Structure 1
């Protein structure tokens, strides 16, 4: 059995859509694909702490976690990533991306190539009561 890795993700909804970031083309996971900001939970770190840290590292935004709106697995050769998606409130900061990413945008619709886990989450959003998630 493969080990599970917990990953927190932020569903950041703004007036112009949902904030998504594009992985660098040299990334080990999901290269050149779009996803929600977030990342791995470190040892002895709560989900909330990981989400706040990762979103700030990846986007420059300061956030307050809200509620879990979904969880989606993605299998890799040696692990299974469990992406836990939270609503968030943006407290401040301006969007700037980390070296892990090559672009960002406020997404509403269009032909972006999303990470497999985000495609699965999007399917569930269409028929659920997830908060204003237009992804």
Structure 2
């Protein structure tokens, strides 16, 4: 059986020196209660920058501008519906927004704006998803 490849794009948004993280809902099948970088899967025939803007709007209500590529992370997981092995390439982009007024979707229970020091502490306490931890490692 061949391995599937998927593309995910996430955006590290800094506003007034704080980084936006979202808390995955407690009912989630994956990483419940952990904090993650906003973003999601790129759909077929969708440009990754458009996907990131769409996901940000869906998850946070924020309009973003994409600044630069920050990191690339590879993650392997088993697809919930099909049980197929998927190799996910995650593009981690640096993004900016003009407001810190977040409206979260039903995918998340909470959000927060954290300093880099606070993010580092959360990584030490294993409060972030593994891909998020890897995203912040340079």
CA contact (8 A) 1:63 1:92 kept: no
Q: Structure 2 regions of 5+ residues with no counterpart?
A: 79-84
Unaligned stretches of 5+ residues in structure 1: 125-135
1:5 and 2:6 correspond: yes
Q: How many residues align?
A: 124
Q: Which residue of 1 aligns with 2:61?
A: 60
Aligned to 2:82: none
Distance 1:115 1:82 in 2: 15
TM-score norm. by structure 2 comes to: 0.81
In the other structure, the counterpart of 2:87 is 80
Does the alignment pair 1:117 with 2:131? yes
Do the aligned partners of residues 107 and 93 (structure 1) sit closer, same or farther apart at CA in structure 2, a change above 3 Å counting? closer
Alignment partners' CA distance in 1, 2:50 and 2:99: 17
**Contact 2:15 2:100 survives alignment (8 Å):** no
Confirm or deny: 8 A CA contact 1:60 1:93 kept in the other structure: no
Deviation of residue 68 (structure 1)?
Answer: 1.0
Question: Matches of 1:93 and 1:14 in 2, distance apart?
Answer: 7
Q: Does the residue aligned with 1:12 lie in a helix, a strand or coil?
A: strand
After superposition, the CA RMSD in angstroms is 1.7
User: 2:18 corresponds to which residue?
Assistant: 17
What SS is found at the alignment partner of 1:99?
A: coil
* Stretches (4+) displaced over 6 A: none
Matched-pair contact (CA < 8 Å) for 2:19–2:113: yes
